[in-house]
Amino acid sequence: MKNVLVIGATGQIGSELTMELRKRYNGDIVAGYIPGAEPKGELLESGPSEIVDITNDQQIAATVSKYQIDTIYNLAALLSAVAEAKPQLAWKIGMGGLFNVLEVAREKNCAVFTPSSIGVFGNNTPKDKTPQDTIRNPRTMYGVTKVSGELLSDYYYIRFGVDTRSVRFPGLISYVTPPGGGTTDYAVDIYYEAVKKGHFVCPIAAGTFMDMMYMPDALHAAIQIMEADPSRLKHRNSFNIASMSFDPEIIAGNIRKYMPEFTIEYKIDPLRQAIADSWPNSLDDTCAREEWDWEPHYTLDVMTQDMLSKLKTRFKK
Ligand code: AKB
């Protein structure tokens, strides 16, 4: 039996990860949410939910005690572009929140998963096949909180033995819950606009390559890393994982394979473009493959077919 608390359960990753964990484990999988972002439908009906504001350590501790939680998935965060608009809040949630989670985990003996991101890298990091262990010098608040979070999570493991583990997510693409305020969001929006309007105004320039991943692979990674044999892990916070790397022209071309009438134009968002330019073109995920058998399953082409078919059904096109 496994009892899991997912903090941020109604967000882009949380809404799908909570359901996946409920399918996999027969304990209590608690959907932690903040007022205004209540779970709905199947997420609400298929298991317990509790108000858990990550900035409130009492709420985290009370929920962990009530359900005898053994694993916390800490998914609360502001994404990169929003974090630049609200850096103080990004720090409060990203670092203050993580500190609260780690303290509760230390006291109540929980394992902790906190996603990191390609955002930990910066302009001085090698751009292609970025290695696992390399320069992490981001110039965004999002990146600063993610690097600091990796260091703090490793500290809690080394100093207190808290079982902290993490992966560096690339841009995540899904048709279920839209992301909010990320730099890689264009790669989700492009599918919605293709289906709704047949046309997309892209905020990221042609030729800008970033790592991306289809959500089923990301969910699989988040679960597999927590189930990995600890004796094989040389790294913990955090592993490079990779699936596909493309620029806007490549994804648009792939959509055109199934919707020949689809068109794209460019209207660059300078903030998002600067962030994208500071991130790697592609990551080297050898350590994840060697230490816990990470392997992605979705290609760009398979993802495009699935995204278009699911969104066409939803929007009845
Ligand atoms: C973002 O664009 O902010 C996120 C990320 C890559 O971490 N999707």
**Rounded to an integer, what distance in angstroms lies between the CA atom of residue 169 and that of residue 29?**
22
Q: What's 82's DSSP letter?
A: H
Ligand 1 atom showing the smallest separation from residue 184 Cα: 2
Q: How much is the CA Rg of the chain, to the nearest whole Å?
A: 19
Per-residue model confidence as pLDDT tens for the chain (317 residues): 799 999 999 999 999 999 999 999 999 999 999 999 999 999 999 999 999 999 999 999 999 999 999 999 999 999 999 999 999 999 999 999 999 999 999 999 999 999 999 999 999 999 999 999 999 999 999 999 999 999 999 999 999 999 999 999 999 999 999 888 999 999 999 999 999 999 999 999 999 999 999 999 999 999 999 999 999 999 999 999 999 999 999 999 999 999 999 999 999 999 999 999 999 999 999 999 999 999 999 999 999 999 999 999 999 87
Coil, strand, or helix at residue 283?
strand
Read off the amino acid at residue 216.
P
- CB-based contact 84:140 (threshold 8 Å): yes
> Which residues lie across from 6 on neighbouring strands?
31, 73
The residue whose CB lies within 8 Å of the most ligand 1 atoms, and thus the one to mutate among 84, 141, 147, 172, is: 172
Token pair belonging to 70:
């053994």
CA-CA-CA-CA torsion sign (169, 173, 176, 180): positive
Which pLDDT value is given to residue 187? 98
Of the residues 73, 142, 175, 214, only one is catalytic, namely 142
**Rounded to an integer, what distance in angstroms lies between the CA atom of residue 256 and that of residue 222?**
32
- CATH for the stretch 4-170+213-240: 3.40.50.720
User: Domain residues of the chain, as ranges?
Assistant: 4-170+213-240, 172-212+245-282+295-315
In angstroms, what is the span from residue 26 Cα to ligand 1's centroid? 31
Which pLDDT value is given to residue 179? 82
Domain 172-212+245-282+295-315 has CATH 3.30.2010: no
pTM tops 0.85: yes
Residue 137 burial by CB count (10 A; 0-12/13-18/19+): exposed, middle or buried?
Answer: middle
Other residues' Cβ atoms within 10 Å of the Cβ of residue 301: 12
Can 142 be counted among the known catalytic residues? Answer: yes
Q: φ, ψ for residue 49 (rounded to 5)?
A: -140, 150
Which residue in 82, 200, 198, 106 sits closest to 155, CA to CA? 106
